[in-house]
Amino acid sequence: MIEELRAKARELLESETVECVIGYEVGPTGRVRPVFVYEPDDVDRLVFNTRCDHNLVTYLNRRNKPRKRGEEVPTTGILVKPCDARSLQVLLNENQVQRDKVTVIGVACPGMQNADGTPEARCLRCNQRVPLLYDALFGEPPEVSDIADTYADVEEIEALPREDRLAYWLSELDRCIRCYACRQACPGCFCDVCESERDDSLWIGITDAIPEKAFFHITRAFHLAGRCGECNACEMVCPMGIPLSLLNRKIVKEVEQTMGGYHAGLSEEPTPLVTRLTGEEDIDEIH
Amino acid sequence: MTEENPMRPYLGTLVGTKELATNIRLFQIELNDPVEREKFFVWRPGQFLFFSALGVGEAPFGFSNIPECGPAIEVAINNVGHVTRHIHMLPIGSTVGIRGPMGNHFPMDEIKGQNIVVLGGGIGGAPLRPVIQYILSHRADYGHLTIIWAARSPDLLVFTDEYDEWGSAPDTEMHVTIDRPAEGWTGNVGLITQILEQVAPSPENTATITCGPPIMIYFVGKTLGKLGFSEDQMLITLEARMHCGIGKCGRCNMGEKLVCLDGPVFRQSEVSTFLESFL
Amino acid sequence: MRFISTQALRDWLDTLARQVTLIAPVETEIGEAPGLANPPASGMNTLYQPVSSADEIAWDFRRTVMSAREFLFPKTETLFTIETNPTGKKTLHETKMEGQQVIFGIRPCDARGLRVLDAIMLEQKPADVYYAQRRRNTTLVGLSCPEMWENCFCTSVGGAPNSSDDVDILLTQVENGYAVEIVTEKGEKLAQGIPLQEVEGLVLPEPRLNEPFETPTEQQWLNSFGDVYWERVGERCLSCRACVYVCPTCRCFDVRDETVVDSAGGRIMRRVRSWDSCQGVNYRTVAGGANPRANPDQRSRNRFFCKFYYVPTDYNVPFGCVGCGRCIAVCPVNIDISEVLRDLAQRGEA
């Protein structure tokens, strides 16, 4: 599979269909990391294995504008797993990325693993093995076996009494250091100036006070409502191990249940939270 | 606190303001505490201070006058961002915060006996006014003074009511120019580099002092080079975003140079060796 | 050689915790959430935190997630407040640090980090008075590392896992207790209360070391500045800033004012400073919108140069990096400072 993928990358670069191919490589210490391949002879650096858990789509937010005035928007080939493809679909729906500037190299995904070899919890929940969006597809889709309950961990928090839920989140968010790694890794966070980093402190200031940190995370989860592709990048990059995806998936669950099963990134319809609330349909009736 | 705290502002009162140009206003401040006032009143042309709109924020600005002018500290401020917008809303009599004086200064002693060419673009003219004031009040110490003052349009020229006084000082010439023709303007029209080439000051025993947007400093430097000046003769002042002014917050570094400590005054010859471009 | 038994040490720490703010490595929930894809390795999920007894200390810890710098240079700090009473009278009040603190179990690399911060915050005049106060009121009781762990490279930047250079007291674990080296006068003063025994023939274990490597020369750094190598390193950077926040020597900060109006019509304004990072997208953006470091490769290049060229040039320390390896562990895209150092050191002089 990898040989065919590399051949495709080579063909895209040699024909100048794309300026670069964004994929994964193995670094000198054995860690898998993103790689930007510009030269056809470098395609042998590309790999695909169970440690390729980064969502590369976030890099497209930097490549969607001309670098200099008068130049064209650069062309990119990008490797996507099913979860990454959902993020890409959201960006396409929101006109953040031009479809004709991106060549989507889809890979069938066996599920990702942690460094210790155990399967990643998010992959155990996932029922997609093949991306819904691709220009070329590589790899044999493996059998989808037992899928873990998508919302078991969300429901565990939901079941707590209100005071315990609050205490849980205040304790988890207390560790937040406002590094913003979660936001930077997220393809759906592409604002030039984040609401929590404004010079005029319009919404929050710069301290590590709990109300400010809680405001940032809850607001970010709401800004991703109906747009989060559940790639888990936010939680994976957090240096303090905060279970951020619980916040996002709580809202994913609400959207699914109130918007007729809608999940972000599965179709060209952008989030119904923006497109369907015209006053014609009552949300409670759907529910 | 037992030691002097450079992050703590002196409190002062806004005693006056003067409109200089579109969005540019001159602020006049007097420090409240006489002991602090005496400690502060040693600033030299080229240095800067931090002006606090208390409760809103703080930003660095160059001094626009010299201590000899009187009890008020004068600072020209352009309304471009969050802090400056609030500074522009301050009523006379407001309490403000001042930290400083900070940074190095123009080497006025070193350039004694030389001819001086002062080039100011837009609000860049504001930190050059103390230089002109200093030279005019120590006139015999300096040779011929050439002032070339520029702005994009007439409404952006600063200190227009002082041009006559400067231009008519002994052994001094003043040239003012705007970028493009404007209705009612009968003076020079042309970029500062074009006027500079026309005036063509001699590089013999001359120092130049340039202040303005980085791109202007760059092209003026190139033009001065064409006229025979060495980079060593060119003094410039750079600016950067700052939060402390004392070399701690790390924000103003250009390579290994910190604009707040190693600058803001530099020689062009030094700047040309910077790892990071100032552009 | 002086020695303290494990029990005597724990008893002393219990007493100490009642006299000063005692800070020590504590185990946390980092890594416990089931969805976490990359939980920290064993012994690496700790943080330095205030403790009230020796029982709370994670005695088997390896490296904390965050360094110890937050106890001398807090993540958020109020510089001063100005109270305006309803008649308009203003009173300025500077923040003072009250009381003493002891950081117990600080690793030699983290202590070296504080030495680097001293050079920037104290030795470079004018000194930062807030840092100075905290530094004066802090005593460091270091704990030697039994070995160098994954990503550690302190020996390549002039440090060592059992170095006593930058602490006031250094403990090294031996059988049944700890060998005690009193290093400074401050350490001597703190040690007055410690029941130490004189023991003959105590052999200190040699820590297992990682393979050291050459770091680039000043000229190699200078020659590389414009190289496209930095684009290759930086293009995968997410500007997530995690590297800066876990670093023992980073000290960039942002300053903001906050105002609160109280019920009587008075106002309290406080000026705060908080940690910031040169890796942030808008770190150098000026009013008006221009950004001289708009690309991630310019920003990540700045970080490496700052650690290995700017800090050594501007301040009295040979390296701005202590080799703790935290940034390597935490970077989601494997931008590895030791890889960069090796790459640059292998280039020719020219």
User: Each residue of B144-191: pLDDT tens digit?
Assistant: 999 999 999 999 999 999 999 999 999 999 999 999 999 999 999 999
Which residues of chain B make contact with A199, given a CB cutoff of 8 A? 81-83
Six-digit token string for C26 = 């504590």
- What's the pLDDT at C224? 93
Does position A285 have pLDDT exceeding 70, yes or no? Answer: no
Give how far C295 is from chain A: nearest CA, Å. 9
Interface test with B, best of C77, C255, C306 (most B CBs within 10 A): C255
pLDDT at A275 over 50: yes
Chain A environment of B81 (Cβ under 8 Å): 199
Burial of C5 (0-12, 13-18, 19+ CB in 10 A): middle
Q: Which residue has the higher pLDDT, A271 or C190?
A: C190
Complex-level ipTM:
0.91
Nearest-Cα residue of chain C relative to residue A249: C35
3-state secondary structure of B237: strand
Q: Is C276 exposed, middle or buried (0-12, 13-18, 19+ CB in 10 A)?
A: buried
pTM: 0.92
Q: Do B244 and C92 touch (CB under 8 A)?
A: no
Residue A72 tokens, joined: 């064209």
pLDDT at A121: 86
Give the integer Cα–Cα distance in Å for C140 and C128. 20
Residue type, C174: V
* Domain that includes residue C271, residue range: 2-345
**CA-based nearest residue to C242, from C319, C300, C282:** C300
Residue A282 has pLDDT above 80, yes or no: no
Q: What residues in B contact A200, CB-CB < 8 Å?
A: 82
Size of interface A-B (CB pairs under 8 A): 4
Partner residues linked to C147 by β-bridges: C208
pLDDT in tens, chain C (350 residues): 899 999 999 999 999 999 999 999 999 988 877 666 667 877 889 999 999 999 999 999 999 999 999 999 999 999 999 998 888 888 999 998 888 999 999 999 999 999 999 999 999 999 999 999 999 999 999 999 999 999 999 999 999 999 999 999 999 999 999 999 999 999 999 999 788 999 988 889 999 999 999 999 999 999 999 999 999 999 999 999 999 999 999 999 999 999 887 777 788 999 999 999 999 998 988 877 788 898 999 999 999 999 999 999 999 899 999 999 999 999 999 999 999 999 999 886 54
Left if phi > 0, otherwise alpha if psi is -120 to 50, otherwise beta: which for B122?
left
The CATH fold assigned to B115-237 is Rossmann fold (3.40.50)
Question: What number is the average pLDDT over the span A217-234?
Answer: 94
* Residue A169 pLDDT exceeds 80: yes
Grade residue A279 by pLDDT with cuts at 50, 70 and 90. Answer: low
Distance from C-alpha of B73 to C-alpha of B63, rounded to nearest angstrom: 7
Given C33, C235, C272, which is nearest A241 (Cβ)?
A: C33
- Find, in chain B, the residue whose alpha carbon is nearest to that of A198: B82
- Give the pLDDT confidence of A226-255 residue by residue, as tens digits: 999 999 999 999 999 899 999 999 999 999
| Percent of chain B at pLDDT exceeding 70 | 99
For residue B215, list chain C residues with Cβ-Cβ distance below 8 A: none
Q: How confident is the model at residue A287 (pLDDT cuts 50, 70, 90)?
A: very low
- The reported pLDDT for the residue numbered B1 is 43
Q: What pLDDT does C85 receive? A: 85
CB contact under 8 A, C75 and A208: yes
Q: What is the secondary structure of A233-280 as a DSSP string?
A: HHHHH-TT---THHHHHHHHHHHHHHTTT--TTSSS---HHHHT-SSS
Query: Between A259 and C206, whose confidence is greater?
Result: C206
Residue of A nearest to C246 (CA): A239
**Cβ <8 Å between B250 and C255:** no
Cβ <8 Å between C336 and A29: yes
C-chain residues near A240 (CB < 8 A): 30, 65
**In degrees rounded to 5, what are phi and psi of residue A273?**
-60, -20
**Confidence (pLDDT) at A248:** 95
Who wins on pLDDT, B107 or C34? Answer: B107
B56, closest residue in chain A (CA to CA): A200
Residue C76 at interface with chain A, using a CB cutoff of 8 Å: yes
With a cut of 80, say whether residue B232 has pLDDT above it.
yes
Mutation site for A-interface testing, chosen from B58, B79, B80, B82 by largest number of A Cβ within 10 Å:
B82
How far is it, in rounded angstroms, from Cα C21 to Cα C101?
5
**Cβ-contact B98, B51 below 8 angstroms:** yes
CATH topology of domain B10-102: Elongation Factor Tu (Ef-tu); domain 3 (2.40.30)
Closest by CA to A186, choosing from A138, A232, A121, is: A232
C-facing residues of A in 193-252 (CB < 8 A) are 193, 197, 201, 205-209, 232, 235-237, 239-243, 245-246
Task: For residue C350, tell me if it sits in a domain.
Answer: no
Least trusted range by pLDDT, from B69-83, B217-231, C128-142, C285-299? C285-299
Total domains, chain C:
1
Evaluate whether B156 touches B94 at the Cβ level (below 8 Å).
no
> How far is the alpha carbon of B54 from chain A, nearest alpha carbon, in Å?
13
pLDDT at residue B105 greater than cutoff 70: yes
Residue C218's pLDDT is 92
A69: DSSP letter: T
Task: Classify strands C46-51 and C21-27 as parallel, antiparallel or unpaired.
Answer: antiparallel
Domain ranges within chain B, ordered by starting residue: 10-102, 115-237
Beta strands in B44-155 (DSSP E): 48-53, 57-62, 73-78, 95-102, 115-121, 145-151
> Could C126 and B54 be called an inter-chain contact, meaning their C-beta atoms sit closer than 8 Å?
no
Say which amino acid occupies A159.
A
Token readout for C129 is 């008075």
Which DSSP state fits A175?
Answer: T
Contact check, Cβ <8 Å, C80/B8: yes
Query: What six digits make up the tokens of C246?
Result: 């876990």
